[in-house]
Structure 1
Amino acid sequence: MSSTTLPLPQDPVRGPTTLLRAVRRRDPILAGFGLALLALAIVLGVAAMLDPRQLHGEDVWAKPAKFLLSVGLFALTSAWFAGELPEARRRAVPMRIVRWTIIGAGTFELAYITWQAALGQPSHFNESTPFHTVMFALMGIGAVALTATTLPLAREIARHGTGLSPALRLAIVLGLVLTFILGAGAGVAISVHGGHAVGGIPDHPGLPLLGWSTAGGDLRVPHFLGIHAQQLLPLAGAALAAAWPERARPAVWLVSALFVLVTLAVFAQAVAGRPLIGM
């Protein structure tokens, strides 16, 4: 029996509590890791209200809080998709590698970002000492390893996610693959450029919450879209499979192609030094 929405038939989602129980059943280790990161993000949100220090125009705790939220969501989404696999595949070597790479690479990167924030120092592009240079390089390796876990997970879903409708399975696989191609690709572009800002005014206030530049190009915009293909395309696939089951697969291909074009367009806009939203 195939499902046309993200929840499995045995995991009806009627509210946040039910959703949390469902994701914890699917992969308790990854789900526990993701939920712990979200809880820590809340703690840092409180710290931001108590600590007036600023770094590059924003609260010192803003960056670690955003990274905690992003990696936490990444881990929870991966845990949900793992639940679409047979138990034997969830216990197999590929999924063990995926699970512990997410936890290991995520923990390392988040610990260093948070430690640097506590010191009031930047974590990214900080090459002020040999130690900071090495840590920044290791962070880059960790970030690539983290996003690369989407590839074996996509392969597992493509081969063994037989309980899913064809359109939803396609959307999950495409979302995972594009997360690595677009998300990691934009991350590499940021690293090669030496930062996310292209033109604009240094330390100019950005968009609320997101912090994206309103005075120049910002490579974080395509990076954000790429990283969250992991969630956006499967959600679109679930909606299409439910509303238009007969033509859902071609529609998933179309939506995915449009998503790639939009991401490339905002990347070109950032490279040209133009903000997504000018102020």
Structure 2
Amino acid sequence: MISFLSQLKQRNKLFFYYGLFSFIGCFIMMMLYQQQPFIVAGANAWAKPFKFFLSIAVLCWTMGWLLHELNEPKKVRMYTIMSVVMMTIELVIITWQAANGRLSHFNQSTPLYGALYALMGVAILTFTCWTAYITFLFFKLKSDTITPNYLLSIQLGLLFFVIFSFEGGVMSAFNKHTIGGNDGSPGIPLLGWSYYLGDLRVAHFFGIHSLQVLPLMGAYFTTSKKQVWLFGILYFILVSMMLLQAFLKVPFIEKAL
């Protein structure tokens, strides 16, 4: 682990430290989750900032590791700075709204809160579009320092990440994440995925974390590009079925009434 962290710091110092900051923020949010149980829309208000701090921490360290393979230091630095700025906008708004017992997402109850929600949308759209460009650069990459199956797994992981990041726009269009009813129904602890309704967050979660799943599979569990393609296609089908399940108003995990 120490060796991994040392290499990560060398590969991308800014992403390393911002990931570390986010892990610390995640720990603080968990403490607040346990000690200050504000309930917003049926869930603990600190659950959302906890999940975002954790997700951003993992994202930073993942991208910090993978971007080293591009050998495009200027473009990587610009992307890293942009990402940190956009993620900071997200975290500040989400945490501030939670601290005041308010929703951050889908909150258009006042012009200010609507503007903050729109600003978050601009931030995540900017990040996703720039990540799509990074994905394009990886698909152009010809590398003799990593195996072809590992490179393909990175390319597919990034591609699926971008696709299912844009799925967040579907939730914005509906102004909610549940299908078949309103947000706030009982759900899986901490994750909040509804026990009784379709929930678009499920496919979004598994889709964006293809960024970790596929490269790990490509690096440690495959020996050919054919195996990566097979796993990648099956993974994409699985996540797409989760999305279809949500649109059919079927919960990911159903709990008897």
TM-score (norm 2): 0.93
CA contact (8 A) 2:33 2:45 kept: yes
| Equivalence for 2:30 | 45
Which digits, 9 at most, give the CA deviation of each residue in 1:49-94, with x for residues without a partner? 21132111221111001011111111111100122243xx22x2x2
| Equivalence for 1:24 | 9
Runs ≥4 in structure 1, deviation > 4 angstroms?
Answer: none
Distance verdict in 2 for CA 1:202–1:130, change over 3 Å = closer
The Cα of 1:197 is off from its aligned counterpart by 0.7
- Is residue 102 from structure 1 mapped to residue 89 from structure 2 by the alignment? no
- Is residue 180 from structure 1 mapped to residue 162 from structure 2 by the alignment? yes
- Is residue 73 from structure 1 mapped to residue 58 from structure 2 by the alignment? yes
The Cα of 1:96 is off from its aligned counterpart by 2.2
Which digits, 9 at most, give the CA deviation of each residue in 1:14-63, with x for residues without a partner? xx322222211110111111110111110111111211321112211110
Which digits, 9 at most, give the CA deviation of each residue in 1:256-278, with x for residues without a partner? 11111111111110011100110
The Cα of 1:202 is off from its aligned counterpart by 5.0
The Cα of 1:201 is off from its aligned counterpart by 6.8
In 2, the alpha carbon distance for the partners of 1:115 and 1:271 equals: 31
The Cα of 1:194 is off from its aligned counterpart by 1.4
What pairs with 1:1-279 in structure 2 (closer than 5 Å)?
16-86=1-71, 89-90=72-73, 92=74, 94-158=75-139, 159=141, 161-184=143-166, 186-200=167-181, 203-241=184-222, 245=223, 248-279=224-255
Say which structure, 1 or 2, has more relative contact order (CA 8 Å, 6+ apart): 1
In 1, the alpha carbon distance for the partners of 2:152 and 2:94 equals: 35
CA contact (8 A) 1:179 1:230 kept: yes
SS in 1 for 2:101: coil
TM-score (norm 1): 0.86
Q: Say what the alpha-carbon RMSD is for the aligned residues.
A: 1.6
Question: For this pair of structures, how many residues does the alignment match?
Answer: 254
- % of aligned pairs identical? 34
CA contact (8 A) 1:206 1:214 kept: yes
Which digits, 9 at most, give the CA deviation of each residue in 1:102-141, with x for residues without a partner? 1010000110000000110111111111111111111111
SS in 2 for 1:83: helix
Residues 45-54 or 150-159, more deviating: 150-159
CA contact (8 A) 1:23 1:80 kept: yes
The Cα of 1:160 is off from its aligned counterpart by 5.3
Which digits, 9 at most, give the CA deviation of each residue in 1:169-189, with x for residues without a partner? 0110111111111222x2011
Structure 1: gaps of 5 or more residues = 1-15
CA contact (8 A) 2:150 2:219 kept: yes
